[in-house]
Chains A and B, each alone.
Chain A
Amino acid sequence: MSESVQSPGAKRRGRLGPAETLIGPILVVAVVVVMAALFVVGWWSVRAERTAVVAARTAHVVSSSQLLADSVHSMLSSGDVAAVRRLMAGAGRQNGFQSCRVELPDGSILADMEPARNAVDTLADTWPGGDATGEVIQQVGDGELTLIYPIKLPGRGIVTLRVEASTGALGQGAGMTLVVAVAVAGAILILVVLLYRPAKSRVVPFALIREALMSIQSGEADPDALKVSDALGPEARVWNQLVGQQDRREQDKLLDRALSSAASGQTGSGSFGVIGDALWHGIVLVGDEMRVSYANGAAAVLLKSSREALLNTAASELFDEDVISALREVTRGGDGRRRTIEPGQTSEDGAEALRFSIRAVRDDRGKTGLVLIEDVTQQRIAEQTRRNFVAQVAHELRTPLTNISLNVEAAVDDGEEDAELRGRCLNVINQETQRLAQLVNDMLSVSEVEAGSMSLRENDIRLDAVFADLEADFKQLAQEKQVKLSFDLPPKLPVIQGDRDKLAISLHNLLGNAIKYSPTGGEVTVVILAEDGKLSVAFKDKGIGIDKEELEKVFERFYRAKDSRVKEITGTGLGLPIAREIVRRHGGDIDASSSLNQGSTFTINLPYKPEAA
């Protein structure tokens, strides 16, 4: 990690070379300029000081010399040579003169600050020579000042006061100042040289970090390009840490997104999940260790679970042994293998029939078994119903046909001689033909209802005629079964609008059932009421009755009550649904009430518009 961090840092440092190398010269120039300025200032101040000192010294020397000259004049005027010699010694020391003396014009020294140099012991009364102009001579040398005062002693002659003094006596101090200045500059230079490296190492990381910040602003996102060399110090390391953390955060974010996307593929909110959930068929992927790795919404519905609960569930908990062994087989074998497990034929009523199609698919994690679950319950029931229907129809058709066949045979064989036999045979043939016709009508009605193509004709229905026909139609059947059939009719029956043939089918079906399910010697009553635009026809029997739970189901197509007694009685399970459908098409309905072994009552309730008969 440190290698990969340092190399881009070095790269970046190389790129920043000019900036880095400029720091040295800039510092040196700065130091030189500062030093030069310091030197100039020092030199200038020393010079100014020196000029001032010289001027002050000169003034001091001049004034004290003048004073001295005045004193010498007065002392010599009175001839006091000794006093002049004391004055010279004192003044010379006191004023710091280099030399100070009074000379006679011949150059002999009358009084000197050094008493040993005194050459003339006594002052003569008069002497010749000397500058009679009386002008003071001032000689200025290098740091030296010489003053010559001619002093005229009236009546005697002229003496000369000669003072030599140094005006540069303080020059040493100024030199010291310069030395100190140079020393300070030197020290600064050394300090700069010493501090250059550490300072450089302090400045470079900040420059690099600044550079990195600028490149972030301009869109650089590669952490390797943003990192600097760790060797540049703690700031660089902290910076690299920050860049690293940011990078990790970005990567974590990406990872999270990828994970959530992958997970959503499994829970159903990703695009694959959305597609899977829109399907009617269940899809379950079984991966390693025979555990569920994906299940769509339909699978959850069909397996009566939830997607979340299905995930990671062992396949053996969800599917039966057939499916599991098929899964094992297809995942062991090559791609493209498939097996289909059809639901058992003996599935109970109401139990779901699921068809499982198993095939091997290959995904990133290896071989996976895909289980496609189809809900074939309704198809199964429909198939079963059709099979039952066909069997029932075959039975229903065969019975009258057999009867017809037998009776035709009997009539042909023996009918010519026996008129009574012939009559009986023809009667049976007639009944069975009617039964066949009824069956065919039922089947047609059912197919009409099924296809939704049942149409009603509107015509006047004379109810009294309808019920008269009904009674006539069933009189014989009731007699055969020894069932007492009675009609409870109101004094006057209205004429209603509707499809007479279709309504007649309804009435036939209901009355036929009432008689069919009545025991021998039973009783069936048809109670008809027509009041206030409402017609009600109740078929009451005292037969086997219908269980409460089954009462609504008897109106389902092909449904036949589970009562074992019902199975002994032939029927298609079509009569009631057809009857109800017809009545409903007329805007009414059929209500059923029953109690087991007590009998049943089926009532047609039909609204009608009363018309003048």
Chain B
Amino acid sequence: MQIKEQTQGAVMVLEPDGALTVDDAEQFKGRLTEALAESSGRVVVDLSSVPFVDSRGLEVLVEANDALADGGRSLKLCGINETIREVLDLTGLANRFDHFDDTNSALRSFH
């Protein structure tokens, strides 16, 4: 899985390309964990190129969010498509994350 990375100011934007499932989710988890550590939690996950997530992918997002929660932070997600939105709503996880329409809105939340 290809994970595009952009540093916007002090914020790291991770844009995984492809479905967040099984092995790809593991790979993304590793990169996300690194990014969170490098940037003190200033990370935006752009899911606009992710068509869907499975349970492992959700787990990765929730784990990252839980790790951030200890420091008063939460995972900022943007570019979520309808499918993923439905999954988050159905699993009751939607409220755990900060949602933004696009990267810029997410970036502004760090100001």
Contact of B40 among A304, A380, A452 (CB under 8 A): A304
Contact of A302 among B11, B40, B69, B102 (CB under 8 A): B40
| A382 contacts B72, C-beta separation under 8 Å | no
**How many residues on chain B are close to A (CB under 8 Å)?**
23
| A277 contacts B72, C-beta separation under 8 Å | yes
| B41 contacts A301, C-beta separation under 8 Å | yes
Contact of B6 among A296, A302, A375, A552 (CB under 8 A): A552
Given A377-B42, A378-B111, A450-B104; A297-B10 close (CB under 8 Å):
no
A278 CB–B CB distance under 8 Å: yes
**Residues of the B chain whose Cβ atoms lie less than 8 Å from the Cβ of A231:** none
| A298 contacts B71, C-beta separation under 8 Å | yes
**Cα–Cα, bound, A293→B111 (Å):** 30
B31 CB–A CB distance under 8 Å: no
Given A268-B70, A296-B72, A375-B40; A382-B104 close (CB under 8 Å):
no
B83 CB–A CB distance under 8 Å: no
CB distance from A376 to the nearest CB of B (A): 9
B9 CB–A CB distance under 8 Å: yes
| B104 contacts A300, C-beta separation under 8 Å | no
CB nearest to B105 among chain A residues: A452
| B72 contacts A281, C-beta separation under 8 Å | yes
B8 CB–A CB distance under 8 Å: yes
Over the window 128-170 of chain A, the binary record of Cβ atoms lying under 8 Å from chain B Cβ atoms (1 yes, 0 no) is: 0000000000000000000000000000000000000000000
Contact of B10 among A296, A304, A352 (CB under 8 A): A352
**Cα–Cα, bound, A281→B73 (Å):** 9
| B71 contacts A297, C-beta separation under 8 Å | yes
| B102 contacts A301, C-beta separation under 8 Å | no
Over the window 413-453 of chain A, the binary record of Cβ atoms lying under 8 Å from chain B Cβ atoms (1 yes, 0 no) is: 00000000000000000000000000000000000011010
Given A378-B9, A378-B10, A379-B111; A277-B42 close (CB under 8 Å):
no
B7 CB–A CB distance under 8 Å: yes
Contact of B7 among A352, A450, A553 (CB under 8 A): A553
CB nearest to A581 among chain B residues: B104
B26 CB–A CB distance under 8 Å: no
**Cα–Cα, bound, A352→B110 (Å):** 13
CB distance from A487 to the nearest CB of B (A): 30
A385 CB–B CB distance under 8 Å: yes
Over the window 173-199 of chain A, the binary record of Cβ atoms lying under 8 Å from chain B Cβ atoms (1 yes, 0 no) is: 000000000000000000000000000
Over the window 55-71 of chain B, the binary record of Cβ atoms lying under 8 Å from chain A Cβ atoms (1 yes, 0 no) is: 00000000000000111
A555 CB–B CB distance under 8 Å: yes
| B72 contacts A280, C-beta separation under 8 Å | yes
Interface residues of A in 287-313 (CB under 8 A from B): 296-298, 300-302, 304
A211 CB–B CB distance under 8 Å: no
B101 CB–A CB distance under 8 Å: yes
Given A301-B40, A302-B40; A378-B11 close (CB under 8 Å):
yes
B24 CB–A CB distance under 8 Å: no
Given A377-B10, A556-B6; A279-B72 close (CB under 8 Å):
yes
**Cα–Cα, bound, A5→B48 (Å):** 76
**Cα–Cα, bound, A452→B11 (Å):** 18
**Cα–Cα, bound, A375→B71 (Å):** 12
**Cα–Cα, bound, A280→B72 (Å):** 5
Interface residues of B in 18-54 (CB under 8 A from A): 40-42
CB nearest to A280 among chain B residues: B72
Given A382-B111, A452-B102; A300-B71 close (CB under 8 Å):
yes
Over the window 374-406 of chain A, the binary record of Cβ atoms lying under 8 Å from chain B Cβ atoms (1 yes, 0 no) is: 010111111001000000000000000000000
**Cα–Cα, bound, A380→B11 (Å):** 12
**Residues of the B chain whose Cβ atoms lie less than 8 Å from the Cβ of A352:** 10, 40
**Cα–Cα, bound, A301→B69 (Å):** 11
**Residues of the B chain whose Cβ atoms lie less than 8 Å from the Cβ of A277:** 69-72
**Cα–Cα, bound, A350→B7 (Å):** 9
**Residues of the A chain whose Cβ atoms lie less than 8 Å from the Cβ of B102:** 452
Interface centre among B10, B11, B107 (most CB of A within 10 A): B10
Given A301-B73, A375-B40; A452-B101 close (CB under 8 Å):
yes
CB distance from B108 to the nearest CB of A (A): 9
**Residues of the B chain whose Cβ atoms lie less than 8 Å from the Cβ of A301:** 40-41, 70-73
**Cα–Cα, bound, A268→B72 (Å):** 11
| B9 contacts A381, C-beta separation under 8 Å | yes
| B105 contacts A382, C-beta separation under 8 Å | no
**Residues of the B chain whose Cβ atoms lie less than 8 Å from the Cβ of A385:** 9
**Residues of the B chain whose Cβ atoms lie less than 8 Å from the Cβ of A297:** 69-72
**Cα–Cα, bound, A304→B105 (Å):** 27
**Residues of the A chain whose Cβ atoms lie less than 8 Å from the Cβ of B72:** 277-281, 296-298, 301
B contact set with A: CB distance below 8 Å? 4-11, 40-42, 69-73, 101-102, 104-105, 107, 110-111
What are 23 A-B interface contacts by the 8 Å CB criterion? A277-B70, A277-B72, A279-B72, A280-B73, A297-B69, A297-B71, A298-B71, A298-B73, A300-B70, A300-B71, A301-B71, A301-B72, A301-B73, A352-B10, A353-B10, A377-B9, A377-B10, A378-B110, A452-B104, A552-B4, A553-B7, A556-B6, A556-B8
Please give 7 more A-B residue pairs, beta carbons under 8 A apart, in addition to A375-B42, A378-B11.
Answer: A278-B72, A301-B72, A302-B40, A378-B111, A381-B10, A450-B104, A452-B102
